[in-house]
Structure 1
C-alpha cells in the first residue's frame, strides 16, 4: 500500500519500485505468483539475475509447452528448487519438465526421454506386455530412478513425525437406475459413438456424455429442463441416492462432511438436494469470487452448525484447509489421480484431530470404473519410477473402443438386466488383493464388525466369508494375475496381501469400536442391512489396498531377467 501511494496510484510503477528495492537489498525476497511470472512481471523478472528460484506447487510447470513453464525456465539463476506433492500426475513427460527446470539437460531432450524412458516404461507396465518389454521397462525405470535420486528428496506423511489420526478410504461401487441404463445403452449404440471410433468425431465429447449419464441423466437436458420442478430428482441417479443416504447417516452420527464434484452443473443438483434435506451448507466453485472464499472456509471450520461444504474438485482441492470436516465424499473420479488426492487432503492434514473417512463413488461397469482404473495405473507408474521398479502388473493395454464398451450386467452374471448380480470389474481385477469389502464383513458380532484377521505367521485368514465372488465372465480391463501364479479366488484370500485391509489396520470408526455407530453401521445400511431397506451399493473396496497392490514382485524381473534387461537396453 505504501509503495502504491508513493507511486501515485500507478500499479506498474509501484511494482517496479518494489522489485528494484528488493533487488538492491542483500536479503531481498520476491514473493509472486505464476500468473505474474508470465504476465505483468515477466520482463522485469527475466532481466535480472537471482540467487535462487523456488517454485512452490512446482507441478504448475509440468506441461513443457505451457507459457508459464517456458517463462520459469528462462529465470536467470543456477540455484533452482521445486516443491511439489505430485511430480508425476498423468505421464512421465511431466517429470522431465520439472527436471528440465532444476537440471536442464540431465534427462536429455524431450524426444529422447520419450523414446528411451517414457514409452518403454509405459508399454512394459501392462499385463499383456511381452517378456522383453517387461524387462526393458524394468531396466529403464531403474536407470531413470538412479538418475533422479541424487536430486530428489521425497517425503511421505509416514516418513515424518506428524501425529495424524487414522484415515479410511473406500471405493463404493454404485448401480445405475433404469433411466441411466437406458440412456447409457442408447448412447453407446448410437451413431455418435460409431463416428468417434471411426475418428470423425472428438472422443472427449462422447466421454463427457457418458459421464453426465452416470452422474445424473438430467444433465443431458439441463438447458431445457433445469427449471423443471423434477429436475435432478435423486431417484434417477444411483450415485445421488447413495450420496443422500450417506449424508443422512453422517448427520445422525454428528460428523461434518466435504462433498466434491467435478462440475458446477452436478453441484447444482447436489445443492438442491442438500437444501431440500434441510442441511446447513456452504458452497464454493469456480464462480465464487476469490475475496469471498476465505470467509466461506473460516465459516465452515468454525461453525459446527454447518454440516456439509459443497465444492468443485479443482477449486476446493488445492491450498485449502478444511479440517473442520472428518468425512469426505468424492462424487465422481477425475482422470488425474492427484486431483482426487488433493481433494481428500483438505480434511486429512495437519490440524485434523478426528479419524477421517473418505468415500469415492464409482458407477460400476461404466466409464467411471475405467477412469478409476486409469487413475490406479498412473499411481502404479509413479511408484515404478519414484519408489520401486519391480512392480506387479494388473492392467492390459486397451484402445479407444474400450472406453465406449459396455457389457450389460445380464450378460456378465446378473439375472435381470439390472445391477444386482454381476461381479464388479475392479474386484475381479484385484482378486489377489485383500481389498474387497463384503456385506458379511460388517455383520454384527459381539458388538463389532467382522473383518479378515491376520494370523501370527503373517497370512490372512477370512473369518467370515470364503465364497468366491469372481465367477463372472471377465470384461474390459480383464484381471490378469501375475503370470505363473495359480492363486486366485478363494485360495488367493489365504495369502498375505501387501497393503491388505485387516482389522488391525482399521480405525475404530469402521471396525465397530464405537459400538457400531461408525462407518460399519453405514456400510451395513448401504449393503442392505441395519434396517436401511434394500442395498444401495453393489460392492466396496479398500482404496489404499488397491494402490499398494503394485508393491509385489513381478516374476519376470530379477535374476537372469535383469541381465536380459541389460542386453535389451543396450
Structure 2
C-alpha cells in the first residue's frame, strides 16, 4: 500500500486513519513532503502506520521522546535539558533512519553526467508591514473586549481568529456584528474611513496592490494565497477596481473547473494573477508559470504556507522565484510566525544531524493577548532574526534592487526567511543561562 500526501493520517483517531489501518498489506509506504506539521506525534502517526511498534505507544512516545525534545528546543532551556533533548533526538533519528528516506530537489534534479543541473533559486522574504491607523484602533479596542477577557476561561480560538482578521482587513469582522460593536469605541475619523472600501484600511491590500503594479509591469506571473475566501474577495475587489485580470480557485470551485483554470494559467492564456485559498490551492497543483508568490496571511501550521510556496517552486521551474510572506508588526502574526519557526526547528531536530539554534523562549511564544511594548511600527522578531542572520545575507543585484523597491512602499523592513536554521547552535550556553536567570 502506498499513501501519497500521507500526512493526512497524522491524527490516528480519524475515520480515515482507522480505515486505512484496517486494510491488510504486506508493505506500507508513506509519501509526504511534510511529515511533521505541528508536533512530533505527527511523525509517530506515520511510522505507526507503516512500521507499527517502531516508536512504541503514543503516550509513551510523548513522555519519553517528544517532551524532552520540546524542552531542549526552548531558548532558555537549562544545560541539562539541552543535553537530554539532544540525546533523545539523536536516538530518534537513529531509530527511524533505516525507514526514513528524505530527498531535496537539489539531490534528485540531476543531469546525465551526475552533476546538479541548474536549479532555479528561491528567495523567501518576510515583509514586515505596519498596521494602518484604522487597524491599530480596532486591534487595541478588541484586546480590551469582553471576548478576549472571557477567552482566558474558555476557548481562545474565536478571539485569536478575530485578531487575525484585523491584521488582514477590519471588514472581515462581520460575524455577530463584531465590527459595529468595536466601532462604538473608535474615534470618529477612523469610523469614517471604515465606511469606505478603500485599500487604505488594510496595510496588506495596500501593499499587495502596489507590489502587483511593479510585478506585472516587469512581466512576472503571481500566485496570491490567503487562508480565507473572504480575504480573497477583498483582494479581488481591489483588482477589479484597477482593471486587473485574474484567475481564482477556492473551495467553491468545481473540480472540473479547477483543471481548466490551472491549464489556462500554465499555458499562458489566462491572466498573470492567480488567487487561491491555501487549503485548496496549496496541495497537488503545479503552477510553474508563476515566479512570484504572495502569502497574505500566515498559518499556524508552517507546512500550509510551505506547500503554497511549492506550487511555484517545483522541479520544472526555470525561473528564479521570490516569495513574499506578509506579516504585521507587533501583532498576533508575529506570535504565529514564531510558532512556525519553533515547529520548523522540531522537524530539523528530529530529522537532521546538527544542533539547531534556539530562537525563542517559551514566554516569547505565549504572549498573545497583549499590546506590543515596542508599538506597531517595529518588529522584535525581525530585529532578532536580522541580528542572527544579517551577516549571512548574499543577494544578487536583482534581489537587492527589488528589496530597495520594497522599502519605498513604507514597509517596516524585510527578513530573509530562507536563512532560518542555517546556523547551528553554539556549544557554549552559559550566556543564555545567565539571561534566563
TM-score, structure 1 normalization: 0.69
Deviations 1:440-498 (A, max 9, x none): xxxxxxxxxxxxxxxxxxxxxxxxxxxxxxxxxxxxxxxxxxxxxxxxxxxxx5xxxxx
Structure number with bigger Rg: 1
Q: Which residue of 2 aligns with 1:43?
A: none
Structure 1 Cα separation of the partners of residues 85 and 78 of structure 2 = 11
Q: Which residue of 2 aligns with 1:188?
A: 143
Query: Secondary structure of the residue that 1:115 maps to in structure 2?
Result: helix
CA shift, 1:165, in A, is 1.1
CA contact (8 A) 1:392 1:554 kept: no
Query: Secondary structure of the residue that 1:173 maps to in structure 2?
Result: strand
Q: Which residue of 2 aligns with 1:540?
A: 414
Structure 2 Cα separation of the partners of residues 333 and 88 of structure 1 = 17
CA contact (8 A) 1:175 1:364 kept: yes
Q: 2:70 aligns with which of 92, 117, 122?
A: 122
Q: 2:331 aligns with which of 366, 378, 398?
A: 366
Classify 1:219/1:112 alpha carbon distance in 2 versus 1 (closer, same or farther; 3 Å). same
Q: Which residue of 2 aligns with 1:473?
A: none
Runs of at least 5 residues in structure 2 that lack an aligned partner in the other structure: 111-117, 181-192, 431-437
Q: 1:97 aligns with which of 19, 23, 45?
A: 45
CA shift, 1:425, in A, is 1.2
CA contact (8 A) 1:259 1:308 kept: yes
Structure 2 Cα separation of the partners of residues 111 and 263 of structure 1 = 35
Root-mean-square deviation over aligned CA pairs: 2.2
Structure 1 Cα separation of the partners of residues 315 and 109 of structure 2 = 11
Q: Which residue of 1 aligns with 2:130?
A: 175
Q: Which has the higher helix share?
A: 2
Classify 1:223/1:405 alpha carbon distance in 2 versus 1 (closer, same or farther; 3 Å). closer
Query: Secondary structure of the residue that 1:333 maps to in structure 2?
Result: coil
Structure 1 Cα separation of the partners of residues 225 and 160 of structure 2 = 20
- Ranked by relative contact order (alpha carbons within 8 Å, sequence separation 6 or more), the top structure is 2
Query: Secondary structure of the residue that 2:243 maps to in structure 1?
Result: coil
Structure 2 Cα separation of the partners of residues 111 and 259 of structure 1 = 40
CA contact (8 A) 2:264 2:270 kept: no
Runs of at least 5 residues in structure 1 that lack an aligned partner in the other structure: 1-52, 436-492, 494-499, 512-519, 529-534, 558-570
Residue 434 (structure 1) aligned with residue 389 (structure 2): yes
TM-score, structure 2 normalization: 0.89
CA contact (8 A) 1:241 1:536 kept: no
Query: Secondary structure of the residue that 1:548 maps to in structure 2?
Result: coil
Query: Secondary structure of the residue that 1:398 maps to in structure 2?
Result: helix
CA shift, 1:401, in A, is 5.6
Q: 1:502 aligns with which of 382, 391, 394?
A: 394
Q: Which residue of 1 aligns with 2:101?
A: 153
User: For this pair of structures, how many residues does the alignment match?
Assistant: 410
Q: Which residue of 2 aligns with 1:555?
A: 428
Q: 2:315 aligns with which of 324, 344, 350?
A: 350
CA contact (8 A) 1:391 1:553 kept: no
CA shift, 1:61, in A, is 0.9
Classify 1:304/1:369 alpha carbon distance in 2 versus 1 (closer, same or farther; 3 Å). farther
Structure 1 Cα separation of the partners of residues 360 and 261 of structure 2 = 42
